[in-house]
Structures are given as structure tokens and as C-alpha cells.
Amino acid sequence: MNKKIISAVVAMTFVLTANFTSVKADLASDKAKLQEIQAQRSELETRITKMDNQIETLMSQISSNKESIAAKETEIDLAQADIIKAEEDIKAEQLLYQDRLRAMYISGTSSSTIEILLDSKSFDDLMSRAENIKRVMEYNISVINDYKVKKDVLDSKKAALEVEKNGLVTLKQENEQKLTELNAQKTDQAVLISQLKAQESQYGAQIAAAEAAALAAAKAEIEKAKAEAAALLASANESRGTSSSNGTSSSSSSSSATSPSSPTGSTGSSTYSADAVIAYASNFLGVPYVWGGTTPAGFDCSGFVKYVFAHFSITLPRVAADQQKVGTYVSREDLQPGDLVFFGEPAHHVGIYVGNGYMIHAPHTGDVVKIAPLNSDFSYGRRIK
């Protein structure tokens, strides 16, 4: 009868093992698909982060273009006003010429050169008037020529300003077109990310359900095997007529589930205390990502880092690529909490390292300040002292 008990337990163990092997194979397949989806999503999110960086750069350039265009328009308006003033001065000088001719002879009413000459009383008077007219005319011509030169200079300046303005307008239009295209690409990428997240949730749920079902099935099979083994043992003992005191004891196995411990960040040290930096940065978890954002109303990646460190009287450059030049180089292996972590070179993204491969950062549009693992696009860190 002992052989029957052993055979029954072995048979049930074989069935149980076969079931586990099948479930394990299904889980492995689902997990492989999940990892593939997560890798695709991570790659798309990195692309969106890069696009956000490009969008911020373009928005800054467009804003600068607008300011330059406005400045050129102001210069053009001033040049145009000066041109009008020069034209008015030329007209005024021509009127002054007539007044000067009249003023040569207080009692005269003539306003033209010919009339003044014809009014001469004698030959000497004629020569005198001709000489005076010549001087006034030469002076008038000199003044008018000066005004004309000034007007010509102003006309050239205005034309050059118009060319510069048109160039800035063209550049602004090109940047706006690039911005439109980037936003369209980003929208497409965001749709793909949404789809991948849905698939990720689906496979995650399937894996969780499969693991739960496998655990329940395993427990049921174990209990069933134990019950049948106990029944066979009782039958064997009864047929032998032995007492329960001489019965064999069955051993049962118990399983204990263990959960991975939470990451414990190492403590870095600096003049401003890494713990204090991370603690302060964590106050902004959940703040939405905003292009160009530099306040708790909304942050972009570099704006968030700059704001946090400013709290500790540390002034950092505005954009990630410039922040990447501050402090000392730190490899991935030597990262400590409080270090800045950069992605790409020149950097298109930045965060603050919190330990154990995690950072706190403002990811991209549609997301919020959060703690996340460093992704494969990580370049290196910088330690601020």
C-alpha cells in the first residue's frame, strides 16, 4: 500500500508540475510582450521629451523673433518720421529762400529773382542785387543738398531695416511651421503611447490574473494531493489493523511570499545637503509639466531643477544643455542623491537623482513631476558644489 501512496503522490506531482510548466510558459510569454511594450513606450516617451526640448527652443526663438521684428518696426517708424522731417525741412528751406529774397529789400514785394533784378535802380544796384541773390541761392542750395543727403541716408537705412525685418518675419514663419510640425508629430506619438499604455495595462492585468490563478491552482492541487495521500494512508493503516499511534506522519510544505524591499537611497553629502534637496523637490510631486514653466504653477524639466536649487541659493542656467556644463562629471556608477542627471548631449532632459537608479523630474507634456527610473537615454550626471 505504501507503493500506492507514493505512486499517487508522484502522479499528482507530475500533473501539478505539468500545469505549472504550462502556466509558467504563458506567463513568460506575456511578460516578454509586456517588456517589449514597455521598451517601446520608453522609447516614445524619450522622443516626446526631445520634441518638448525642441518645441521650447523654437518657442524661445519665435519669441525672440517677435521682439526683434517689433524693434525693427520701431526703427523703421523712426526712420520714416526722420524722412518726413527731412522733406518738410527741404520745403521750409525753399520758403525761407523766398523770404530771404524779400528781406533783401524791405520795401520790396517781389518774390522772384527776375523781379528783384528788374526792380534795380541802376547798373550798380543791379550788380549788387545779383551778388546778394547769388549768395542766398548758394546758401539755399547748400542747405537743401544737406537735407537731401540726409534724406537719402534715411531712405537707405529704412530700406535696409525693411530687408532685415522681412528676413526676421521669414525666420519666424519657418520656426512657426517647424513648431506646427513638431506638435503634430508629438500628438501622433502621444496617441501611440496611449495605445501602448492600454496594452501594457492589459498584459499587466493578464499577468497578475495568471499569477493569482496559478497560485490558487497550486494551492488547490497541493491540498488535493495531501488529502488523497492522507486517504490512501488511512486506508493502508486500516487494512493492516495498525493503531493510529504507529501511523506515518505526513509532511506539508508551506510557501511564504516575499516582496522586494523598497529602494533605500544612499545619503549624499554636499554643502547644501542632498537629503534637503530631495525633500524639497518632493514637495512638487504632481505639479503639471508646462513648456517654459519655472514656477510651481507648472514646470519644464530644467525649470524644475533650477527652481529647486535656487531655494538653496544655488543659481543654475535656465536650459538643460547649459546646466549640463555646471559642476563636476559623475558616471552612472558613482551617482549620489542630489546629483543632476542628464539625457542626451547636448542634454534634452534633466532630473535630480534620488538613489537606486531613480530620479525626480518633470517628464514631458501631459505628465507631472514624479519619481521615475533612469532610462536608457541617460548620458551622465553632474555634481553641484
The single residue of 301, 311, 348, 364 carrying the catalytic annotation is 301
Q: End-to-end alpha-carbon separation of the chain, Å?
A: 78
Q: How far apart are CA 43 and CA 189, in angstroms?
A: 10
Residue 370 pairs in a beta bridge with 361
Give yes or no: 364 in active site. Answer: no
Give yes or no: 311 in active site. Answer: no
Give yes or no: 301 in active site. Answer: yes
**Taking Cα atoms as reference points, which of 341, 338, 359 lies closest to residue 349?**
341
Cell of 193: 503611447
Residues marked active site are found at 301, 349, 361
